[in-house]
Amino acid sequence: MQNSTTDKLNKGLPESYSIEHDPDDLWGDSRIIVNIGPTHPAMHGALRMVAKLNGETIEKSYCEYGYTHRAKEKLGENRTYHNFIVYTDRLNYCSALINNVVYSMSVERLLGVEVPERCVWIRMICCELARVIDHLICIGINAVDLGAFSFFLYGFHQREEAYTLIEKLSGARLTTSYTRIGGLAGDAPEGFESELKAWVAKTRKVIDEMDSLLTGNKIWKKRTVGVGVFNKEQCLKFSHSGPNARAAGIDLDLRRDQPCMFYKDVEFDVPVSQNGDVFDRYLIRIAEIRQSLNILSQIADKIKKGPIWSEDKRVRIPDKDVVYNTMEGLIHHFKFFMTGFSVPEGEAYTQFEAANGELGFYIVSKGSPRSHRMRIRGPSFWHYQSLSTMVQGEKIADMVAALGSINIIAGELDR
Amino acid sequence: MDVRKPIATNGGYWLPKFGDLWKTQIEALKAQFGKAIEEVRMPPDYPTDVPIVYVRKDEIVPVLNYLKTDSKMDYGFLADLTATDEQKEPRFEVVYNLFSHSSLCRIRVKVRVADGDEVPTAISVWEGANWAEREVYDMFGVKFRGHPDLRRILMDIRWVGHPLRKDYPLKGYQVFADAEPVDPTLLD
């Protein structure tokens, strides 16, 4: 039986894509097809899942994404290396600073540019601040999805405070564009270290409060323990990384195992759990926030005054008084922003432990001011792929818990 | 602007740490597969961070499987799967970035593929290669032989053209009157 709705849907579609299901028969064997998203409050960002339900149990499902695709990789091939910094903010917008830092690091690696000590310390502050706020939003939203609203507000206040700190660094709260290739947009203001320390001390207390509020909660445990289980073998099959992999027992943290910047000089633990369910992912994130706070307070002690720019003439943006007062400075400034600097031929895959997992920039340069290939390896891409497998045979309400716990950010998923 | 001679500095801290390991691994790989290894590019000679192993197209799945399972290699983690448009013959290179959790070492495997040719799918080695291969198909038009579900992934299913090809125009529109409907055949 055909009706007008099916005819309308089938119009203009290839034969293989037409809906042959009789709409009246969907209830015939008590199975229904539910479409969740792309705009649904429980789907984080514009994600879509189509699930075949038997009662409440998901029998089979498939996921779709690409609704916020902004062709970042194509843009990367058609913008200069300096121009592309602003696009990296919009990858994982919950931790924009990490994307800035990793992108700058990857271009510096191709150029062979070293940045001064203070710049590296500030970049580490950026990474750990961003990691804390990313984890806070992940566990907060995950709890909101399951009905624990006040927990979210505790974290959100500290998150706003962290954004105030970030605003002091970069002048923007969300889309920071803070790093430059070979340096930073600006130095940290006077007294930033003490403000950071005060924030760390306050956040420690808030995390303890949040921990005691939710971790032992019976309802929270019933909704999360044993839900969305993804074991070690499955994690390796689907290339999971970051907190999701560590929740399943993969003892790997790129900050510790492939240290870049000054992560060798700070002490921190890598929390690892074994069960790989929603509850363990939550525990890992709570533990990682504590570790990040430890790192932040160590950095606040260690950071010293000094230059923040590499002295390499290729990447150094000339100071404003040089630009305004000398001819050479003006020409340099003009050439820098109009032509950009050339990156020598070569290719490198630079990775870093971002808040969600391994964030990688695979840049192929052919020697021009624009890259030949700008591949962005976002961890969410590999996590979201496994969602269908993760929730197969579970209840539809548990899908929401699983999706929140793997922290899919549509920005780095769609790019 | 001051454009200097290319410098192979992107090897960074990898070289002193993994240089010898890479050499023994590449030798073992060559002994195992012989002619299937077309070319090897090692870091200080080529401006690359890790060795690039060019593998003949049809032999890619056994090579990846060997790299994953052999105890000397143990590259169990597919860090990335992508492609590049080289604008020469053969046109595309499919790139596999591999990572070893035990030795913390990375390696890059590449396959040269002409326009319209097919690469064997790596799903049998890593299930997670599924979406990455779909994305390569969507963005470059490289097809994967044996892939169970080779549909477009980022673009609409009715989209014409492959956006990340170098000859793809930067501006233009393709407007569809209705959204992609639910496909019940995927749920059987």
pLDDT of residue B18: 81
- Give the torsion sign (CA, A304, A355, B137, B176): negative
How far is Cα A237 from Cα A217, in angstroms, rounded to an integer? Answer: 33
Q: Which residues contact A206 (CB under 8 A, 6 or more apart)?
A: A154, A155, A157, A158
Counting Cα atoms < 13 Å in the Cβ hemisphere of A322 gives 10
Chain B contact set for A349 (CB, 8 A): 49-50, 79-80, 97, 106, 108
Answer yes or no: is B6 within a domain.
no
Nearest CA in chain A to B130: A385
Answer yes or no: is B3 within a domain.
no
Answer yes or no: is B147 within a domain.
yes
Chain B contact set for A347 (CB, 8 A): 10, 47-49
Domain that holds residue B77: 14-187
DSSP class of residue B124 equals: T
| Structural domains counted in chain B | 1
CATH number, domain at B144? Answer: 3.30.460.80
- On the 0-12 / 13-18 / 19+ scale of CB atoms within 10 A, A196 is buried
- The tens place of each residue's pLDDT in chain A, 415 residues long, gives 444 555 555 555 555 444 455 454 444 556 778 888 788 877 777 888 888 887 788 888 888 888 888 888 898 899 899 999 999 988 888 888 999 999 998 898 888 888 888 888 999 999 999 999 999 989 988 898 888 888 888 888 888 989 999 999 888 888 888 998 988 888 888 888 899 999 999 999 999 988 998 888 888 888 888 888 888 888 888 989 989 999 998 888 888 888 788 888 888 899 999 888 899 999 999 999 999 999 999 999 888 888 888 888 888 888 888 899 999 889 989 988 888 888 888 888 888 988 888 999 999 988 888 899 999 998 999 999 998 888 888 888 888 888 888 888 888 888 8
How far is Cα A390 from Cα A354, in angstroms, rounded to an integer? Answer: 22
Question: 């073998």: which residue's tokens?
Answer: A233
Answer yes or no: is B1 within a domain.
no
Answer yes or no: is B176 within a domain.
yes
Answer yes or no: is B4 within a domain.
no
Selected residues 16-45 of chain B with any CB under 8 Å from a CB in chain A? none
Identity at B55, one-letter amino acid code: V
Chain B contact set for A342 (CB, 8 A): 1, 3
| B187:A33 CB<8 A | yes
Question: 């969305």: which residue's tokens?
Answer: A228
Confidence of residue B13 (pLDDT cuts 50, 70, 90): low
B99: distance to nearest CA of chain A, Å? 10
Span B126-173, pLDDT tens digits: 988 999 999 999 999 899 988 888 888 888 888 888 988 888 888 888
Domain ranges of chain A: 72-414
Of A21, A50, A349, the CB nearest to B97: A349
More confident residue, B187 or A121: A121
Instruction: Evaluate if residue B110 carries a pLDDT over 70.
Output: yes
Confidence of residue B111 (pLDDT cuts 50, 70, 90): very high
Here the tokens at position A373 are 């290939």
Q: Peptide bond preceding A41: is omega within 30 degrees of 0, i.e. cis?
A: no
CA torsion A139-B128-A237-B25 (nearest 10°) is -120
Confidence of residue B3 (pLDDT cuts 50, 70, 90): very low
Exposure class string for A265-294: b at 16+ Cβ within 10 A, else e: ebebebbbbebbbbbbbbbbbbbbbbbbbb
How far is Cα A345 from Cα A368, in angstroms, rounded to an integer? Answer: 8
| B80:A360 CB<8 A | yes
Q: Which fold has domain A72-414?
A: Cytochrome-c3 Hydrogenase; chain B (1.10.645)
Of A35, A314, A362, the CB nearest to B82: A362
Answer yes or no: is B9 within a domain.
no
Question: 């240290």: which residue's tokens?
Answer: A259
Contact B182, A50 (CB under 8 A): yes
pLDDT of residue B5: 46
Answer yes or no: is B123 within a domain.
yes
* Pairing state between β B118-120 and B106-113: unpaired
pLDDT of residue B4: 44
- On the 0-12 / 13-18 / 19+ scale of CB atoms within 10 A, A262 is middle
